[in-house]
């Protein structure tokens, strides 16, 4: 399988600068070398390094906080994409790790809703940008047909979908009916949509890191469910309006998540 077909979904765009220079396999050594060539640091100056799992019992997030070491299993897609997200969104990944450490009453013991929320977004997060607040309202209200069929042209022209969660990238290798991300919704100005991939990724990283550092999200329910295969261009099936009649995949649901202005 070629890397083009393997990473064919447009939702892989945030990782494209790395994927285009890597083999179509979860190569832990290659991403470790990228961290040397394109260094990033923790908030307190430790270089981020992707290392094999350590059998010393130290908690994953505490290891990152104390030494900058991100445990990365060889030949493992999940950890491979986690490393690439670190390279693509370093400020947000730092914010997630630091928030985990802050939320621990004793290292590795207390989970609670804050750490659950952080884990949900770290694994399954997506950022939705829109210059039209009405489109965000339709998403928030689970009005999928109105959003993705009746206003499809506006979605394509006025919205951007930026995946953060590494588990989402892994699952997009073999997407399945019902694949759902946890979304943060931002109303943005038109100039955001004119940014190239690198600049847009950096702008999202800045804003998302600030929100996660502020403690804005404290429960898994603070994130908006979004069926990924409904986004235009992700699957050819979505070109047929009848596709959105599948109420198992495109479910009505609760109203949640507030829109943040950019």
Q: Which residues contact 5 (CB under 8 A, 6 or more apart)?
A: none
Mean pLDDT for 86-90 is 97
In this structure, are 149 and 97 located in the same domain? no
Paired residues of 122 in beta bridges: none
State the total domains in the chain. 2
Range of the domain at 189: 120-261
In this structure, are 129 and 243 located in the same domain? yes
In this structure, are 166 and 99 located in the same domain? no
244 vs 109 pLDDT, higher one: 244
In this structure, are 49 and 21 located in the same domain? yes
In this structure, are 138 and 88 located in the same domain? no
Q: Does residue 99 have a pLDDT over 70? A: yes
Say whether pTM exceeds 0.85.
Answer: yes
Q: How would DSSP label each residue in 84-107?
A: HHHHH-HHHHHHHHHHHHHH-SST
In this structure, are 104 and 210 located in the same domain? no
In this structure, are 48 and 132 located in the same domain? no
pLDDT tens for each residue of 116-134:
899 999 999 999 999 999 9
Tokens of 16: 């494209």
**Predicted pLDDT of residue 105:** 56
């Amino acid at each position: 399988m070629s890397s083009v077909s393997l990473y064919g979904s447009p939702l892989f765009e945030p990782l494209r600068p790395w994927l285009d220079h890597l083999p179509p396999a979860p190569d832990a050594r290659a991403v470790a070398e990228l961290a040397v060539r394109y260094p990033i640091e923790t908030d307190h100056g430790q270089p981020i390094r992707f290392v094999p799992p350590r059998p010393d019992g130290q908690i994953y997030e505490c290891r990152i906080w104390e030494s900058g070491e991100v445990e990365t299993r060889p030949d493992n897609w999940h950890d491979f994409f986690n490393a690439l997200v670190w390279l693509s969104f370093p400020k947000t990944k730092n914010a997630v790790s630091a928030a985990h450490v802050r939320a621990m009453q004793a290292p590795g013991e207390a989970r609670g809703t804050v750490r659950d929320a952080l884990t949900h977004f770290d694994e399954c997060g997506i950022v939705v940008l829109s210059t039209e607040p009405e489109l965000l309202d339709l998403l928030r209200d689970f009005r999928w047909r109105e959003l993705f069929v009746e206003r499809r042209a506006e979605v394509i022209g006025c919205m951007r979908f930026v995946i953060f969660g590494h588990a989402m990238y892994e699952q997009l290798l073999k997407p399945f009916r019902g694949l759902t991300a946890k979304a943060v919704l931002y109303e943005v100005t038109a100039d955001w949509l004119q940014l190239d991939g690198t600049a847009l990724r950096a702008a999202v990283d800045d804003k998302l890191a600030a929100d996660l550092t502020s403690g804005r999200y404290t429960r898994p329910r603070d994130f908006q469910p979004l069926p990924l295969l409904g986004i235009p261009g992700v699957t050819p099936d979505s070109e047929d309006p009848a596709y959105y009649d599948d109420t198992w995949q495109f479910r009505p649901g609760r109203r949640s998540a507030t829109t943040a202005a950019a």
